[in-house]
Structure 1
Amino acid sequence: MGKISQGILGGFSGKVGSVIGGSWKGISYMRAKATSVSNPRTDGQVNQRTKFALVLSILKPITGFIRVGYKKYAIKQTAFNAAMSYILNNAVTGSYSDDYSIDFSKMLVSRGNLTGAVNAQATSANGVVTLTWDDNSGSGTATQTDKALIVVLNPTRAESVFDAGGNQRGFGTEDISVPADWAGENVEVFLGFITADGKEVANSVYLGSLTAA
């Protein structure tokens, strides 16, 4: 029960219905009583939590890479949160929590306005993933000194290997070693570029799913 201490027009302390009154530094205040929600589990909330957990499991293994790949979008948020938002909104498929999955072809591990890779491919042999691409220097904002941004992701293990400053665009190829115990497992491969001064980043290109060999 609330108590009025200074007449009908004064402030009050305690609770009256859904309103709580009190005083702070001599100033009377009123606020609405907080609604008590204990672990809400509506369909919409469950679906959103499931999506969030799925994207988080994909991004955690490449957290260090995302700091570089999404650096241009780390404005009033972290690069990781920017990546979470993009992938949640663009790369999650399915209608209900029990059939959500990631469409890796729509996932970007790097984002920016730098001209991206052209005719890029990936193969795997002898514990190495080999990426190749055309030297498209001079096209748009591409230059020979741009450095490759490479991710090889093993979603099953929630592990990755990546290079956030690889070979130059003009070199046209790079080898990246993967753990021996990945042999026979599927990996997802992405390629982007970053300028030599680290200021501009290209949208990554998805090079497909490979069986690590």
Structure 2
Amino acid sequence: MARNKNGILGGFSGKIGNVVGYNTYGVDRMRTLPVRTAPATIGEIKNRAKFKLIQDALNTCKELIAVGFNNYWTKTGGMRGAVSYNKMFAVKATEEAFYIDPAAFRISGGTLPGLKEIRVELESAKVLKFHWSIDSVQDASPQDQVMLLAIDLKSNIACSFIYGSFRNTGTTMLALPEDLLGKEVAVYIAVLAKDRSRQSDSQYLGTVMVGR
């Protein structure tokens, strides 16, 4: 963004498109930004590939990520924080390509205590059922709510739910869409504070083959 301090006929400071305005010894000047002609480096190509891999996965659950990464990992948190974290920790490489390690992938992060003794199972062909301990947890409220995600990281098809059951219910369900039938999904759960002030680290519950 550029700033114009002296009216429409005055010089400006900042960037407009590929033009930069600046002042030197009281004289307003403009210059165009140089156009890069060199090809991208191997490092740049790899970084772009990692970014796209994570961005495509996170775009399947943007609303959940906005809550799960609220004020977490980067200054602005949200999608930017989630991309930064997962690009650093969840992207792995083979000799041929990059891939996302589901055990390292995170949809939420924070200081709120998570759940204990969690398990997930197929209640029916299209419904996942979650169970966890309802024992009281220090520094947490019984009315904290769970956040859920089931995602096929190969085809980037996902089903998420943000404001789920309370911590003290010990169970909840997630209905899956037709698009996930026959897919192997990675399953995650996290907890959102009752007052929405913070959230827990997400917990990876393994993969489930969704029935037909």
Do the two structures share a fold, i.e. TM-score over 0.5? yes
Task: Provide closer, same or farther for how the CA distance between residues 201 and 103 of structure 1 changes in structure 2, counting only shifts above 3 A.
Answer: same
Q: Which amino acid aligns with 2:178?
A: A
Q: Distance in 1 between matches of 2:170 and 2:77?
A: 32
Match of 1:55 in 2: 54
Q: Distance in 2 between matches of 1:109 and 1:187?
A: 14
Task: Provide closer, same or farther for how the CA distance between residues 67 and 160 of structure 1 changes in structure 2, counting only shifts above 3 A.
Answer: same
Q: Which amino acid aligns with 1:108?
A: R
**TM superposition shift of 1:118:** 1.1
Q: Which amino acid aligns with 1:55?
A: I
User: Is this contact kept in 2: 1:72–1:111, CA < 8 A?
Assistant: no
User: Is this contact kept in 1: 2:73–2:85, CA < 8 A?
Assistant: no
**TM superposition shift of 1:187:** 0.8
**TM superposition shift of 1:189:** 0.7
Secondary structure (helix, strand or coil) at the match of 1:72 reads: coil
1:1-213 correspondence to structure 2 within 5 Å: 27-28=26-27, 34-38=33-37, 40-73=39-72, 76-94=75-93, 98-124=96-122, 125-137=124-136, 139-213=137-211
Runs of 4+ in 1 over 6 A off after TM superposition: 29-33
Task: Provide closer, same or farther for how the CA distance between residues 183 and 23 of structure 1 changes in structure 2, counting only shifts above 3 A.
Answer: closer
Which deviations, in whole Å up to 9, do the C-alpha atoms of 1:1-50 show, x marking residues without a partner? Answer: xxxxxxxxxxxxxxxxxxxxx98699336799854313732110110000
Which deviations, in whole Å up to 9, do the C-alpha atoms of 1:124-180 show, x marking residues without a partner? Answer: 23210111111242x332322111111111223322211111001111111111013
Secondary structure (helix, strand or coil) at the match of 2:187 reads: strand
Unaligned runs of 5+ in 2: 1-20
Greater CA deviation, 111-120 or 154-163? 154-163
User: Is this contact kept in 2: 1:129–1:175, CA < 8 A?
Assistant: yes
Aligned length: 190
Q: Which amino acid aligns with 2:145?
A: K
Q: Distance in 2 between matches of 1:49 and 1:136?
A: 45
Greater CA deviation, 139-148 or 43-52? 139-148
Which deviations, in whole Å up to 9, do the C-alpha atoms of 1:55-108 show, x marking residues without a partner? Answer: 011100010101110112286425100000110111111166x42111111111
Q: Distance in 1 between matches of 2:140 and 2:135?
A: 7
User: Is this contact kept in 2: 1:153–1:187, CA < 8 A?
Assistant: yes
Task: Provide closer, same or farther for how the CA distance between residues 36 and 133 of structure 1 changes in structure 2, counting only shifts above 3 A.
Answer: same
Match of 2:17 in 1: none
Overall identity of the aligned pairs, in %: 23
TM-score scaled by length of structure 2: 0.80
TM-score scaled by length of structure 1: 0.79
Output the aligned Cα RMSD: 2.6
